[in-house]
Structure 1
Amino acid sequence: MPAEHYDAVVVGSGFGGAVAAYRLAAAGLSVVVLERGRAFPPGAFPRSPAEMGKAFWDPREGLYGMYDVWSFGGCDSVVASGLGGGSLIYANVMLRKDEHWFVHEEQIAAGGYESWPVTRADLDPHYDAVERMLGVSPYPLDHPAFDVPKTRAMQDAAAELGLEWRLPPLAISFAPGRGAEPGIGLPIAEPSYGNVHGVTRRTCRLCGECDIGCNDGSKNSLDHTYLSAARHHGAELRTLHQARAIRPRPGGGYEVDYVRHRPKRGSGTIGCDRLVLAAGTYGTTYLLLKSRAELTGLSGTLGTRFSGNGDLLAFLLRAKDRTRTRPIDASRGPVITSAIRLADDADGPRESGRGAYIEDGGYPAFVDWLVEGADVGNEIGRAARFIAERVRALVTRDTNLSAEVAGLLGGGELSASSLPLLGMGRDVPDGELRLRGGRLDVEWNQQASDEYYGRLRATMRRIADVLGAEHAGMPSWLGKRIITVHPLGGAPMGRHPGEGVCDAYGEVFDHPGLFIADGAALPGPVGANPSLTIAALADRMSTRLLERRPVATRQRKEGQVDMSVGTGRVPAHPHAEAHGLASAGHGERTSLSFSEEMSGHIALGVDDPRSGDLAERSHGGRCTFRLTISIEDLDRFLAEPEHLARAEGWVDADFVGGRRPVERGWFNLFTSGGAPDRREMRYRLWFTGADGLPRTLAGWKDVHHGPATRLWLDTSTLFTRVMWGHVPEGEDGEAEVAGAGTLHIQPMDLAATLKSFHTQGPHGIAALARFGRFFVGQLWDVYGPG
């Protein structure tokens, strides 16, 4: 047994690890974060050429900087190292994955398919939670102090080309506080949990330095937000600690071997009940590949579904805005301010091609060396040395190029008339990560994605033409290679071990308590910038982990743990523990889940869905919900008379402001209807309308004795009330009813529901059969003769 033991160890502090650390620590677990890089408070980021030459990660060469540069057979890649992970050097864009891009069983030419076991509806509540924590807002373009030429240029180009343009949400503080007037260089009010660095932050100065570290602290990066909050709740943040190996611990839990880089090199082992891997696509997959012998039974899909999220970098040289009278001045503003969206054939029958986003870039940034290479000039010597090192790397299979890139970087500056364009989208996830001679390697090329990249390049050339610019792709001395800053896949999620390494909540199949919370878990490209989706998946994972934690987990010294941390979607039902919604440990449990969609009408001003007085439907209108019903412990669910499960998803109705996420939801299957031959299926969904007011949708299906011809009608009709407030079970009589009506499930939706059934745990097929026998048996008790 290691001398050190924690409830949870989190490896990595990026968008997955930081979210998990906060959620678990805030819920009362003892948490330690192992981050290989060091902390970078505002003012510590490198700026001079000499400092930039040391800003790379390669401990063998004595480099402990932020940028970790890799070269593989089909692509080069830049990832981050430091407290806050990728948030230190990313461009702050917080776009949600497009709803239709959560593809299901989309064929891949090389074999297999891309399939997402989660939906946009599953993630929307978690997107909301992350956006609140990171304080996102669109770029304030209409404010006089923030009007920048490059954003207007992109807006004009999109308008002329008939393309969709938007100001995406950015995790940047443009104002000193929530609801305050934007301003440049103003002191930012600190949150109640403080700041891990103890340094005053200031609002954005429009300096274009987002990707080389924000020395003003304007970026709402993870060290200023989630990690500061995690430390406030007791989490330990250990920098310059790099995980080297993981293995199961006899009796349950895991052990992590690590090395400490500085101030004095050493090593150690730490034990935990739950292990969250969030070391990034490369780091997490590498740990799993190295530990395959110890983690027996890992899915054969380990290493697969790698993609670069469609990343493509291009430059518009000597570009001007449409007046042709002044430079674009890409150095003014955040690195990214706006985005152009290219539609996807998954969006509908009128579209074709794989979708993408094109975003304006800024400088200085970590890609400056590439920009200079597009017009080499006097830098031939450094470029030649870099080529020589690349040849050596190919011969020796040394895939880490951080030191070589550090030597290539010079002190030159970008021309104010050039505009980087950053593309990303739905490339084909057919790459594979593997070990070669003990080193990580990638087998991937862009051949399957040629059509996608061709479309993206053609659109960038059209933008260049509109702006009167010269289009330049990658420097010729680098060859036709893809540079990705968004590597994804390697330990993809799936519905079963034949489809993925982990389930839809990030838990590794057949290894309870081992979770993946970073880009490695994604089964394909996000299409948009992936940071928000990775964070939302980690938030969802944390909710599941906390629901399943042992009852004996230690409580915080301040008193009872508040289980409503984060999204607040841990069920608050008074009998949740008794009904398995927060049951103790994994043990030999088998869980079951399925999806259901119902739609119909709600009449406002009507309080009885059976009154027949529904003539006022026009005052309410259509209402739809889509839910995922989750049964955590099927044995307990079948044994308990209330047959209670958790409901997640969304409610969509015009009278509540469109689609609204379910904040908490409960479902009872065939609970007593007050008579031996009567059952009810009950739904209770808490949500908040666009007006900020809470509401409850409560409904029941009345399943009662009668002719068998009534079976479909009874089981597909939901009598529904929408009430003001979040109304607990048993208090409907005191609640104010906003409207009532009936919702129905259609035959095609029923087919989708049947297809969606999924089990996890031992004897899944047998568990599904038990559920089926229970369902049919209940119907026989009601409709059978007698």
Structure 2
Amino acid sequence: MGAVDTADVVIVGSGFGGSVAAHRLADAGLSVVVLERGRAWPPGSFARTPADMHHNFWNPKGSDYGLFDVLEFRGFDSVVSAGLGGGSLIYANVLLRKDERWFVKDAELPGGGYEYWPITREDLDPHYDAVEAMLTPSRYPYDDPQFNSVPKAQAFREAADELGLDWQLPPLAVAFASKPGGQPGINLPVVEPSYGNLHGVPRLTCRLCGECDFGCNDGAKNTLDHNYLSAAKAAGADLRTMCEVQAIRPGGPGYQVRYLLHAMDGSSVSKRIDCERLVLAAGAFGTTRLLLGNRAHLPGLSSALGTRFSGNGDMLSFALHTRRDGRPRTVHASRGPVITSTIRVPDELDEDGGVGRGFYIQDSGYPVILDWLVQNMDVRGDLSRLAGFSLNRLRGLLRWAGPDHLEHGIGQLIGSGTLSNCSLPLLGMGRDVPDGVMRLRKGELDVSWTTETSRSYLDRVRGTMKDITSALGGEYVDNPLWFRKRLAVAHPLGGAPIGRHPGEGVCDPYGEVFGHPGLYVADGAAMPGPVGANPSLTIAAMADRLCDHLLLARGMSGRSPARGGPRRSGGTTQTAPAAPARLSGGRTGAAALSFTEEMAGQVTLGEREGPVPLRMHVTVAIEDMDAFLADPRHAARASGWLDCPALGGRLLVAHGLVELMVTVGGRRRMHYRLPFADDRGRQLVLNGHKELRAGPPTAIWPDTTTLYAKVLAGDVTLGAGTLTLGRLDFLRELTTLRAASPSVLERFGTFFLGSLWQVYRPRLSS
């Protein structure tokens, strides 16, 4: 049997969560493998002809490995992407932050329970900054002479002004200029960043073709393969395409992942890779399905698995035959990027008099080739023009007196194109009710979710869309699916939501799955409710925050590589980190030595509570071995989590302290100080110590594996108890030991074992 494939981190999926994680973790020095089920799509490879589009759908059973995966559920249809870069390949480029007041707490749901966001806008803002620095969004430059030939933005603005609605140009992940901050221009060469581009194909700025949702053949979209994934590859990440994950299991250093490696001829080979950390980023459908399908091998998964599904309030409609002053109004939906501008309708949570659940409505578009399809929807006009053309031809034949010039007649037959030129799709999204439930039915994902509980929200969205259509002088038409009360969902969210404790969510507020250390969810499945705005930026920001937590828990720098002052590299202004500290005896950005300790036991929290379980999982990191050995208290930083249901479940420890082998009289002690906040927001501390007293060598084990702990609120003791390290936990701890070099490990071993010798060495009587 050959050697097992291994990595520090395996990431399943390469969308907005997986790509961010791949770059952040590879840049920190971890070995990272990304498993993406689809293939790479360089500029120029996206289907445009009917023959190519015929095979452009994800259907491995039919040997089709296309870009679009179209899913039909009982209450809605959805389209997701299969390819390196995930949903960024087919999304509409909008990068809006989640509204600050829409991070709701205890929002009651119709069927029982509450929508609760255990994080805030303040928590995410630095991560929003980091992601924007990589994706370099810009607003549509419609005031520029080269770009003012896109009338839909101006029409949308005029409609918003007439209705008193908030109109804006949202940030778009589109290159309108050769470099960020440069002069906009059409078909200009894009200057690549210093890490290059994994495709090695030249890119051009936006040419206003409306093809964003079908894949950008010019490379003008700042899709994830052009930034985060290219940077991840440059940092050493192994990006594996055509790898469809089938099973996940605890095992090896942390988790085993089994996947199918597809070949274009329809064959596939089963593979396995083991990893210390596993990040699921296969989207709301993919990640939830993996967790549901492997639930038997992941005991203790929260009962919240499969809950909180939401369509992010998605709704599509059409404003047809728009007019101004009684004449057709040209809006050219096929001109420009898919979305140029947005209208925000306030929420009851806002301070500006909003009612109900808020939402956004955006001017949408489509490729120019679809203008012909749209125009052919005008059946009545087609019949009228055909009848007129035939009658004129008959008249011409009856009075024939020479050559018949048909140019005018053919032009009349084609028509004026007013339906395609004067019609505009309207895309809505917002705070619908996240009460859908995802299950497996005969091995296939099934979603129980209808429009009923969100009816008042959807009625308000449709009402505003009708008002906008009226302001544009057009005819309002619902998406044909709506006739059966079905929706087209472009932004599926939920299924493995974050929460404060396992009773509320599958993951903690950082995306780590409760009860399964080292297993993370980094995509739309982690959303506990609708984002409201386009969710891509929020998913990426939460993944960036997850990486800070993962790296801190592993004893490594949590600093985002995308943060710090600007630098100019490869002709592009980018954001770069400050120079990381060079740790003694270690590589840049990593601890000189670290290990992870997990202890469990009970604490008594007052007379009423009685003994309650508490588990501690912390990574102890020594950054500078010289300073550590010279320090009489031998202090090291500690980060990780405490798990105590009575205090709110999994609780983050970000800035803890452990002092190893402090001399107290004739004894040695190990001190632990682990600050945390409980689910009520109280700032608490777990204060503990291990007591090492002179005695026989048999006392080493109980002394070094018993922690006497107190839970403190300031100077007040809330509870006390004992935690212990089991033999299996000790063996597992040995596997987590990481040293920058053999000499660092030797120096630490000499110190630690020497200290034990000083305490437990035999004392000879005189």
- TM normalised by structure 2 equals 0.71
Match of 1:359 in 2: 362
How far residue 155 of structure 1 moved from its aligned partner, in angstroms, is 0.4
Secondary structure (helix, strand or coil) at the match of 1:298 reads: coil
| Residues 173-212 of structure 1 aligned to structure 2 (within 5 Å) | 173-212=175-214
Question: Which residue number in structure 1 is paired with residue 598 of structure 2?
Answer: 588
Change (3 A) 1:584 1:636: closer
755, 770, 774: which one aligns with 2:710: 770
Structure 1 SS opposite 2:597: coil
Matches of 1:368 and 1:436, distance apart in 2: 40
- 1:424, distance to aligned residue in structure 2 (A): 0.2
Is the aligned partner of 1:566 residue 2:562? yes
How far apart are the structure 2 equivalents of 1:754 and 1:583? 32
User: What residue in structure 1 maps to residue 169 of structure 2?
Assistant: 167
2:300 aligns with 297
Find the aligned partners of 2:562 and 2:617 in 1 and give their Cα distance: 20
- 1:490 lines up with 2:492 in the alignment: no
C-alpha distance in 1 between matches for 2:579 and 2:518: 21
**Residue identity opposite 1:565 in structure 2:** P
Question: How far 1:330 sits from its partner (Å)?
Answer: 1.0
Distance 2:151 2:45 in 1: 30
Query: Which residues in structure 2 correspond to 1:425-444 (within 5 Å)?
Result: 425-444=430-449
1:33, distance to aligned residue in structure 2 (A): 0.7
Query: For residue 483 of structure 1, what is the amino acid of its counterpart?
Result: A
C-alpha separation between the residues in 1 aligned to 2:460 and 2:9? 45
Change (3 A) 1:586 1:157: farther
- For 2:260 and 2:199, locate their aligned partners in 1 and report how far apart those are by CA, in whole Å: 24
Quickly say closer, same or farther: Cα 1:157–1:297, change in 2 above 3 A: same
d(CA) in 2 for partners of 1:66, 1:584: 43
State the alpha-carbon separation in 2 of the partners of residues 268 and 753 from structure 1. Answer: 42
Aligned to 1:7: 8
Instruction: Tell me if structure 2 keeps the 8 A contact 1:211–1:365.
Output: no
Matched ranges for 1:186-265 at <5 A: 186-250=188-252, 252-263=253-264, 264-265=267-268
Q: Which structure 1 segments of 5+ residues have no match?
A: 380-411, 552-560, 591-630, 648-664, 672-751, 779-786
Whether contact under 8 Å (1:92, 1:171) holds in the other structure is yes
Deviations 1:244-299 (A, max 9, x none): 1101005x410111001114521111111110100000000000001000011100
Give 1:530-679 correspondences, 5 Å limit: 530-549=535-554, 565-567=561-563, 584=594, 586-588=596-598, 633=618
Q: CA deviation at 1:49?
A: 2.0
Shift of 1:512: 0.7
**1:643, CA displacement in angstroms?**
11
* 3-state SS of paired residue (2:355): coil
Q: Secondary structure at the match of 1:90?
A: coil
Deviation (angstroms), 1:321: 5.8
* 1:752-786, Cα deviation, whole Å (9 max, x unpaired): 9982249999x9xxx999332663269xxxxxxxx
Q: Kindly indicate whether the alpha-carbon contact (under 8 Å) linking 1:315 and 1:371 is maintained by their aligned counterparts in 2.
A: no
* Alpha-carbon distance between aligned partners in 1 of 2:127 and 2:592, rounded to the nearest angstrom: 19
1:269 and 1:493 mapped to 2: Cα distance? Answer: 28
Letter in 2 for 1:776: V
One-letter amino acid of the counterpart of residue 345, structure 2: L
Corresponding position of 1:473: 478
The 1:104/1:477 distance shift into structure 2, 3 A limit, reads closer
Kindly, what percent of the aligned residue pairs are identical? 56
Map of 1:525 onto structure 2? 530
How far the C-alpha of 1:144 sits from its partner, in A, is 1.3
Rounded Cα–Cα distance in structure 1 between residues aligned with 2:419 and 2:531: 30
Cα 1:196–1:325 change in 2 (3 A) is same
Contact 2:552–2:639 (CA under 8 A) maintained in structure 1: no
Is 1:446 matched with 2:448? Answer: no
Pairs within 5 Å for 1:394-473: 415-473=420-478
How far is the alpha carbon of 1:145 from its aligned partner?
A: 1.1
Pick closer, same or farther for the CA change 1:775–1:206 going to 2, 3 Å: farther
Preserved CA contact (<8 Å) 1:34 1:238: yes
Q: Is the 8 A contact 1:301 1:499 kept in 2?
A: yes
RMSD of aligned alpha carbons: 4.0
Q: Alpha-carbon deviations, 1:182-238, whole Å to 9, x = none?
A: 101100011111111111000000111100000100000001110111111111111
Amino acid paired to 2:562: G
AA in 2 matched with 1:48:
T
Quote the offset at 1:476 in angstroms.
Answer: 6.2
SS at match of 2:126: helix
Inter-partner Cα distance in structure 1 for 2:294 and 2:372: 36
Per the TM alignment, residue 318 of structure 1 is displaced from its structure 2 partner at its CA by 1.7
The Cα offsets for residues 322-376 of structure 1, whole Å up to 9 and x where unpaired, read as 7845411111110001000011111138321101000000112999999689767
1:308 to 307, 311, 315: 311
Displacement of 1:67 in angstroms is 0.9
Q: Distance in 2 between matches of 1:576 and 1:82?
A: 42
Write the mapping of 1:335-354 to structure 2, written as runs, cut at 5 A: 335-348=338-351, 350-354=353-357
* 1:146 counterpart residue number: 147
The number of equivalent residue pairs is 594
TM-superposed deviation, 1:74: 1.2
CA distance in 2, matches of 1:89, 1:171: 12
Q: Which amino acid aligns with 2:122?
A: A
Report if the CA contact (8 A) 2:618-2:639 is conserved: no
Equivalent of 2:680 in 755, 763, 775: 755
User: What is the TM-score of this pair, normalised by structure 1?
Assistant: 0.69
Name the CA shift for 1:498/1:463 in 2 (closer, same or farther; >3 Å): same
Distance across 2 between alignment mates of 1:163 and 1:476: 27
Q: Report the equivalent of 1:40.
A: 41
In 2, Cα distance between equivalents of 1:377 and 1:206: 31
Task: Say if 2:90 is the partner of 1:85.
Answer: no
Encode CA deviations 1:480-532: one digit per residue, 9 max, x unaligned: 21110100000000011011000111100111110100000000000000000
**1:171: how far off?**
0.5
Please tell me whether the aligned partners of residues 493 and 500 of structure 1 are also in contact (alpha carbons under 8 angstroms): yes
- Kept in 1, the 8 Å contact 2:139–2:169? The answer is yes
How far, CA to CA, are the matches of 1:586 and 1:322 in structure 2? Answer: 72
* Distance change (3 Å), C-alpha of 1:191 and 1:25: same
Structure 2 distance, partners of 1:262, 1:281, is 26
| Contact kept? 2:307, 2:497, Cα under 8 Å | yes
Other structure's SS at 1:198 match: coil
* 8 Å Cα contact 1:488/1:520 also seen in 2: yes
**CA shift in 2, pair 1:353/1:38, >3 Å:** same
Distance in 1 between residues matched to 2:369 and 2:123, nearest whole Å:
34
1:311/1:424 contact within 8 Å kept? yes
Distance in 1, matches of 2:599 and 2:155, equals 57
Number of the residue aligned with 1:556: none
| Distance change >3 Å, CA 245–CA 377, structure 1 → 2 | farther
Q: Which stretch of structure 1 is more off in the superposition, 564-573 or 311-320?
A: 564-573
Give 1:178 shift.
2.3
C-alpha spacing 1:82/1:331, structure 2 compared with 1 (3 Å): same
SS for the counterpart of 1:344 is: coil
1:60 CA drift (Å): 1.5
Q: Which residue of structure 1 lines up, in the alignment, with residue 698 of structure 2? A: none
Q: What per-residue deviation string (whole Å, max 9, x for no partner) do you get for residues 138-175 of structure 1?
A: 11121111122000011000000000011100000000
Q: Secondary structure at the match of 1:169?
A: coil
Distance 2:447 2:375 in 1: 27
C-alpha contact (below 8 Å) 2:109/2:435 kept by paired residues = yes
Secondary structure, aligned partner of 1:44: coil
Task: Summarize the Cα distance change of 1:203–1:168 in structure 2 as closer, same or farther, 3 Å threshold.
Answer: same
**Contact map agreement 1:276 1:514 (CA 8 A) in 2:** yes
